[in-house]
């Protein structure tokens, strides 16, 4: 599975990008990347990425079996980070949780979809049964994008999470079956 | 409101309806053996529905490795030095779920129907309120009807059911019921609603 990377990819606007798994030496580049991402878009992250110590602990405890971070680089800079979270033991050992962060300057270029498609293939390779992603009700574009990738709404927790201003937002849980291909959406 | 230190509040002694004396305390490194023993007493049909496979040493090891009450507060109930209940409050330090705590509860079958579970849940709710949490979440396998009823008694409401989402230790898929308690209303007396 690791042999798939690094990979070259061309974004919708022709930009050349490289996809590869995160390694220890990416610490600084990753920290810089998160500095470029508005706090609003980082709220779903469990850790406070504005602290260098957080990224430090990530690289210190790098374990692809628990957290598999796939990075997209353009001209040596990290512009996208998609991670697949797993638990080796317990009742969610057959699931993978997806977390996705894209540099604001690289949105609307198909980058998010590209990364998620990679995680879907990785998930299948790892024999996971489903992928889970959590979004807020306000993230309309992301909700549509994930729908196109075969994710379906499994639940909406009303006003469960808070945005940066402290306002309650709905938490939408989407699930993508990896064992059975979902019906493609036709328009 | 500043959070009272856990260390200052526990251990605490309490008495159940039937007169049993229970000591409530926060888990420490010294509880490894006691926890192993406790989980060994939980019957197979309950253990398989737990989030983690507690029959594995490494699971308990991982809990004791980085004890951080701000993230995970495991409250233990002891009777004559034996652990008979484990109630944990899980919190996040930042992000969109910072105001939400998750609660998990496991009670020794020999000590069920004595009000111990309710007592421990009430303690966690008080800790959550003191910590400024606004919501508590409980995730329970749909088959665990008694547990769902117990949470319902504390005004937890079912907000979602995720069909077949989790896999028990036997490898069977189980529906997961997600229940939420709005802590701000938890403390209102019954008369407020009428």
Window 119-178 of B: residues touching A by CB (8 A cutoff) are 135, 159-163, 165-168, 174, 178
The answer for residues whose C-beta is within 8 angstroms of residue A119's C-beta and 6 or more apart is A70, A82, A84, A96, A98, A131
pLDDT score recorded for residue B26: 96
**C-beta atoms of A91 and B96 within 8 A:** no
Residue A35 has pLDDT above 60, yes or no: yes
Residue of A nearest to B179 (CA): A157
pLDDT 10s digits, A21-34: 999 999 999 999 99
> pTM score, two decimals?
0.91
Residue of A nearest to B91 (CA): A46
The pLDDT tens digits of the residues spanning B97-111 come to 999 999 999 999 999
Does the CA dihedral A49-A54-A56-A58 come out positive or negative?
Answer: negative
Higher pLDDT, B48 or B73: B73
How far off is chain B from A162, nearest CA to CA, in Å?
5
- Predicted confidence band of residue B5 (pLDDT cuts 50, 70, 90): confident
pLDDT at position B121? 93
Q: Do B166 and A156 count as a contact with CB atoms less than 8 A apart?
A: no
Please report the pLDDT score of residue B47 as a whole number.
Answer: 83
| Closest alpha carbon to B116 in B145, B141, B87 | B87
Non-local (6+) Cβ contacts of B106 within 8 A are B39, B42, B46, B50, B85, B86, B87
pLDDT above 70 coverage of chain B, percent: 93
Three-point CA angle A175, A177, A181, nearest 5°:
135
pLDDT of res. B28: 94
Q: In what order do the strands lie in the sheet with A95-102?
A: A7-10, A16-21, A67-74, A77-85, A95-102, A130-136, A168-177, A152-162
User: What is the C-alpha R_g of chain B?
Assistant: 16
Determine the residue of chain A that is closest to B62 in CA distance: A89
Write down the pLDDT at residue B66. Answer: 84
Contact call for residues B157 and A84 (beta carbons, < 8 A)? no
Q: Is B89 left (phi over 0), alpha (psi -120 to 50) or beta?
A: beta
Q: Tell which B residues from 42 to 71 touch A, by Cβ distance under 8 Å.
A: 49-53, 56, 58-59
What does the pLDDT read at residue B2?
47
Q: How many CB atoms lie within 10 A of CB B181?
A: 23
- According to the model, what pLDDT value does residue B57 have? 87
- pLDDT confidence of residue B193: 57
Numbered residues of chain A with Cβ closer than 8 Å to any chain B Cβ = 42-48, 89-95, 130, 136, 154-158, 160-163, 169, 171, 173, 175
pLDDT in tens, A59-68: 999 999 999 9
Write the pLDDT tens digit of every residue in A134-177: 999 999 999 999 999 999 999 999 999 999 899 999 999 999 99
Q: How far is the C-alpha of B61 from the C-alpha of B181, rounded, in Å? A: 30
Q: Say whether B178 and A91 touch across the interface (CB within 8 A).
A: no
Chain B residues with CB-CB distance to A94 below 8 A = 167
Chain A positions touching B168 (Cβ under 8 A) are 91
Residues A170, A90, A114, CA angle at the centre, nearest 5°? 55
Given a cut of 60, is residue A187 above it in pLDDT? Answer: no
Per-residue confidence band for B188, with pLDDT thresholds at 50, 70 and 90 = low
pLDDT tier for residue A80 given thresholds of 50, 70 and 90: very high
CB contact under 8 Å between A91 and B167, yes or no, is yes
Does the pLDDT at position B91 exceed 80? yes
Confidence tier at B1 by pLDDT (50, 70, 90): very low
User: How far does chain B reach from its first CA to its final CA, in angstroms?
Assistant: 29
Residue B134 DSSP symbol? -
Domains assigned to chain A? 2-130 (3.40.630.30)
Q: Inspect the interface and report whether the beta carbons of B160 and A157 lie closer than 8 Å.
A: yes
- Are B100 and B136 within 8 A, CB to CB? yes
Q: What is the pLDDT of residue A14?
A: 93
- Is residue A69 over pLDDT 80? yes
How far does the CA of residue B33 sit from the closest CA of chain A (Å)?
21
**pLDDT one-digit tens code per residue, A102-138:** 999 999 999 999 999 999 999 999 999 999 999 999 9
Do A175 and B51 count as a contact with CB atoms less than 8 A apart? Answer: no
Going from N- to C-terminal start, the domains of chain B cover 6-139
SS3 (DSSP) at B152: helix
Give the residue ranges of DSSP H helices in chain B: 6-9, 32-41, 44-47, 57-65, 116-130, 145-153, 183-186
Q: Which residues of chain B are within 8 Å of residue A169 when distances are taken between CB atoms?
A: 96
What digits encode the pLDDT tens for the residues B123-148? 999 999 999 999 999 999 999 998 99
Which member of B58, B59, B166 has the closest CB to residue A92?
B166
What integer pLDDT is reported at residue B62 of this predicted model? Answer: 86
Q: Which fold has domain B6-139?
A: Aminopeptidase (3.40.630)
Sheet holding B82-90, edge to edge: B12-15, B21-26, B72-79, B82-90, B100-107, B135-141, B173-182, B157-167
Confidence grade of residue B12 (pLDDT, cut at 50, 70, 90): very high
B12 burial type by CB count under 10 A (0-12 exposed, 13-18 middle, 19+ buried): exposed
Separation in Å, CA of B191 to nearest CA in chain A: 26
Of the candidates A154, A158, A161, the beta carbon closest to that of B159 is on: A158
């Amino acid at each position: 599975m690791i042999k798939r990377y690094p990979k070259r990819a061309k974004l919708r606007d022709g930009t050349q990008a490289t996809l590869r798994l995160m390694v220890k030496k990416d610490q600084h580049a990753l920290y810089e990347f998160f500095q470029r991402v508005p706090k609003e878009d980082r709220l779903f992250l469990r850790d406070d990425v504005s602290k260098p110590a957080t990224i430090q602990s990530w690289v210190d405890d790098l374990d692809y079996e628990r957290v598999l971070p796939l990075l997209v680089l353009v001209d040596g800079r990290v512009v996208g980070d998609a991670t697949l979270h797993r638990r080796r033991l317990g009742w969610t050992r057959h699931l993978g949780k997806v977390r996705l962060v894209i540099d604001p300057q690289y949105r609307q270029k198909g980058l998010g979809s590209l990364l998620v498609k990679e995680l879907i293939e990785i998930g299948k390779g790892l024999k996971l049964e489903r992928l889970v992603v959590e979004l807020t009700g306000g993230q309309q574009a992301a909700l549509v994008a994930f729908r196109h990738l075969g994710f379906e709404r499994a639940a909406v927790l009303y006003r469960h999470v808070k945005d940066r201003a402290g306002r309650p937002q709905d938490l939408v849980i989407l699930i993508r079956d990896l064992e059975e291909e979902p019906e493609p959406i036709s328009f | 409101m500043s959070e009272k230190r856990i260390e200052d509040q526990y251990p605490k002694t309490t008495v159940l309806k039937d007169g049993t004396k229970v000591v409530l305390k926060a888990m420490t490194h010294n509880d490894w053996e006691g926890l192993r023993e406790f989980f060994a007493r939980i019957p197979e049909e309950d253990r398989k529905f737990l989030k983690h496979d507690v029959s594995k040493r490494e699971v308990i090891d991982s809990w004791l490795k980085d004890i951080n009450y701000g993230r995970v507060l495991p409250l233990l109930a002891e009777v004559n030095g034996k652990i008979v209940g484990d109630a944990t409050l899980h919190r996040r330090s930042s992000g969109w779920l910072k105001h939400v705590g998750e609660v998990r509860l496991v009670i020794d079958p020999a000590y069920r129907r004595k009000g111990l579970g309710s007592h421990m849940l009430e303690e966690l709710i008080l800790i959550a309120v003191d910590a400024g949490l606004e919501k508590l979440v409980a995730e329970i396998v749909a088959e665990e009807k008694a547990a769902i009823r117990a949470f319902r008694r504390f005004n937890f409401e079912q907000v979602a059911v995720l069909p077949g989402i989790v896999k028990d230790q036997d490898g069977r898929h189980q529906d997961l019921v997600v229940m939420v308690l709005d802590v701000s209303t938890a403390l209102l007396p019954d008369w407020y609603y009428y």
